[in-house]
Structure formats: structure tokens, C-alpha cells
Amino acid sequence: MTTTSSHARTRMRQVGLPWSALLALGTAIFITSLTETLPAGVLPEISASLDTSSGATGQAVTVYAAATALTAIPLAAATASVPRKPLLLGAMIVFLVANTLTAAAPGYVVLLAGRCLAGVAAGLAWAMLAGYARRIAPAGSEGRAIAVAMTGIPVALSLGVPAGTLIGEQMGWRAAFAAVSLVTLVVIGWISVSVPGVGRPVMERADIDHSHTAPVAAKSPLRQTLAVPGIAAIMVTVTTFVLGHTILYAYIAPYLQHAGLGPATDAVLLAFGAACLVSIWCVGRHVDRRLRTLTVTAAVLFTLATATLAVTTTHPIVWAAAVLWGLGWGGAPTLLQTTAGRAGLRHSTAAADTAQAVLVTLWNAAMALGGIIGGLLLESSGITAVAASAAALGAVSLLIVTGARHHAFPGTRATP
């Protein structure tokens, strides 16, 4: 396996980034993100069709996030010995089945079952996709490769959900999920043809110098990974950053209504999405050389934007804050996954993959919790408290990033 990987890396050095493979991975990520968020765009149609309340139908998003959070780490451990390409194809096939089941759901229970199945597939896919992109990239371009793959997230939010919503309005919500199944079928073929196979993660790498890493227990991959210097700080940052974002994003429509911009909600979200795309483009160009600078900048922009939204509803300033928010948030998945991967690689490739599984778990747990906390704050203290809480969590993230400069967010790249 070592020889094969060495030959593959030599070829990649000669030809540059494997664009077709990375775009296939990016489309797979697009499908996972779109599947998660699409119900929000067609919520009224689902409720009317299945004769359920909006609150009950909204649990379709919660079930997905919870299933992903609960299964990412166990599935990563259980499939550690499985080659990555067949495992990825298996996860996408489960997505195909889950979205088809959702599209054909005769009732609420089957709908939730399809959403739960999709969440399990997401837990498996998300735990390996960033690591997959990293492992097929040329040496020195791993962060850029992850950025290309992670483009699927902002594209899903800024283009996929509006497109799915339009399909739902014109042809029904079932057609929207059927369209996702159709795209998934195409991606399965694309991955089969374009994405190179990589072997299973190895527990130790002979080319890694462990002399500067703390001893770790050899009892479980999870304990080993969490004991790697920097990993804990990264995971706390993931939790606070995603929680802060979700608390406000989940209730952005009520906020804009409060600000007198309710009719412009779609336009504001489009501006946010466009800024996300700009952010991930900038991150993709510079992440391999300026990871710390970009992460600090992202935390600053997010905190500034949400704090601004907490103190004023002046229309031009709200628009500007939405753009700043997108600039800070768009590249965050790439930055945090790249940071976690690099920190894990200082121990082993298996630790890097386990770190991604932990990140996925915390990410989805924070999303699920963000919706709950944001709702409670909205009901008890009003929308301004929602924005202020998001800003406070952004400030915590900024403090961790600026303070954890030795292992979690180093100023220079540590070569694995």
C-alpha cells in the first residue's frame, strides 16, 4: 500500500490537482448539504401533503443532523479497515436510497425513516470526504484540495436550496427530493470513473516524527486522537463557531422581519451565499500557506458581523453585515477540516480520519443544538438576544484561535 500511495503521489505532483476527482467529491458534499437543508425550503408543501404541523415537519432536519452526529464516530471506527472508494460509493448509494424513500414517503414515519437513513450516510461520508481530498492531492496542496471539495457546502446553501425550493413550488416537494436522487446517481458514476482508490488509513506512519508529540494511550482511536496536541482546542472551536452560526442562521428570517427586511430575505441570503463563495475561493488559494491568518480573519469577520446585527437594524448596515458574515463563514469548513487533518497527521493518518469523524459529530450536534437554543432565546428574550449570543460564541472562537498558536492553529505549517 505504501508503494502504491508513493507512486500515486508522484503522479499527482506531475499533473497538479486531480480536478475531476475533487469536483466529484465536491458534488458528493453538495448532495449531503443539500439533503440536510432542503426540507427547510419546502416545509409548507411537506406539511400540507402529509397533514403535519410545521414544527413536526421541521424535525426532518433535526433527525438528519442527530443521526449524523450519533453515527459519524462509530462508523468511522467500524470501517477503518475498509478501502475508501468502495466505502464512499456505498455511502452515496445509501443517499440514493434514502432520498428516493423520502420522495416516495406515504406518511410522516416513513419520511423520518428516510431522513434518518440519509443522516447515517452523511455521518459516514463526511467523516471521510475531507480526508479523501487530502490524500489524493499533491504534497503541499492538501488544503487547496479540501477547499475545492468543500465548495459543495456554500453552493448547496446559495444555489441548491433555492433551486430545490423552486422545483418544490412548481412540481411538488417530492420532485425536489427525486431530483437530488437523480444527481446522486450521476455522482455515483462520476466517482466510479474519476476518483482514484486509496487504501485504508494506517495507525502509524514511519515518516512522522513523534519526538515532539505527547504520548497517547493505545486503547482506542478516539482517545488517541483527542490526546494529540491541538485536537481538543480545534474541536472546541468547531463547536462554538458552528453553534454561533446556526443559532442566528436558523432564525435569520425572523431577524430580517424584525429589521424590516422581510420581503428581501431571499436577496439577503443570496448576498450571504455569494460572499460565502468568494470566501471559499480566497481560502482555497491561500489555505496551504496562511491557514492561521485565514482562520483568525474568519473568526474576526463572523464576530464583527453578528455583533453588528445585534446592535443595529439599519438596512445598509444589515446588508453589509450579511456580506461580512458570508466572508467569515464560507471558508470555515475548509479551514477547520484542514486544521484538524494537519493536527491528526502529526500522529497518524488514522488519527487524521478520526479527527474528521469527531469534527463531523460536533458540527452536526452544534447545528441541532443551535436550532434549539436559538428558538429558546427567540421566545424568551427576542431576536436581538439571538444575534448577541451568536456574537459571543464567535468571540469565544476568536479567543481560542488566537491563543492556541502552538499546536491547534500554528502560524507556520508543520510538515507531517
Domain of 123?
Answer: 19-194
Cell of 149: 471539495
Domain membership of residue 1 (yes or no) is no
Q: Are 190 and 235 members of one domain? A: no
Residue 83's pLDDT is: 84
36 CB neighbour count, 10 Å cutoff: 23
Of 143, 175, 194, the position where a domain reaches its end is 194
**Which of 3-7, 51-55, 95-99, 229-233 is the most confident on average?**
95-99
Domain membership of residue 199 (yes or no) is no
Q: Are 150 and 274 members of one domain? A: no
Domain membership of residue 415 (yes or no) is no
- Average pLDDT (56-83) is 79
**C-alpha closest to that of 124 among 341, 333, 356, 340:** 356
- C-alpha atoms less than 13 angstroms from C-alpha of 368 in its C-beta half-sphere: 19
Please identify which residue in the block is written with the cell numbers 480566497: 282
- pLDDT per position as a tens digit, 181-190: 999 999 999 9
Q: Are 236 and 337 members of one domain? A: yes
pTM of the entire structure? 0.72
Of 155, 175, 194, the position where a domain reaches its end is 194
Residue 367's pLDDT is: 79
Cell of 9: 503521489
Q: Are 231 and 190 members of one domain? A: no
Tell me the CATH number at 115. Answer: 1.20.1250.20
Residue 186's pLDDT is: 94
In the predicted structure, residue 6 carries a pLDDT above the cut 50: no
CA gap 98, 118 in Å, rounded: 5
Task: Return phi, psi of residue 219, to 5°.
Answer: -95, -35
In the predicted structure, residue 210 carries a pLDDT above the cut 50: no
pLDDT-above-90 percentage for the chain: 25
CA 76 to chain CA centroid, nearest Å: 16
- pLDDT per position as a tens digit, 279-293: 888 887 887 788 888
CA 295 to chain CA centroid, nearest Å: 15
What pLDDT band is residue 315 in, cutting at 50, 70 and 90?
very high
Domain membership of residue 6 (yes or no) is no
Overall domain count for the chain: 2
Of residues 76 and 317, which shows the higher confidence score? 317
Distant-in-sequence, close-in-space partners of 338: CB < 8 Å, separation ≥ 6:
130, 134, 142, 143, 146, 147, 287, 291
Distance spanning both ends of the chain, measured CA to CA? 18
Residue 414's pLDDT is: 45
Cell of 297: 480573519
Of residues 169 and 49, which shows the higher confidence score? 49
- pLDDT per position as a tens digit, 236-251: 999 999 999 988 887 7
Domain membership of residue 279 (yes or no) is yes
Q: Are 185 and 112 members of one domain? A: yes
What DSSP letter does each residue of 238-276 carry, written as one string? HHHHHHHHHHHHTTHHHHHHHTT-GGGHHHHHHHHHHHH
Q: Are 171 and 240 members of one domain? A: no
- pLDDT per position as a tens digit, 102-152: 999 999 899 999 999 998 998 888 777 777 887 887 877 777 787 787 777
Of 159, 194, 229, the position where a domain reaches its end is 194
Cα 370 to Cα 49, 62, 363: the distances in Å are 28, 11, 10
Residue 117's pLDDT is: 93
Domain membership of residue 411 (yes or no) is no
Q: Are 227 and 186 members of one domain? A: no
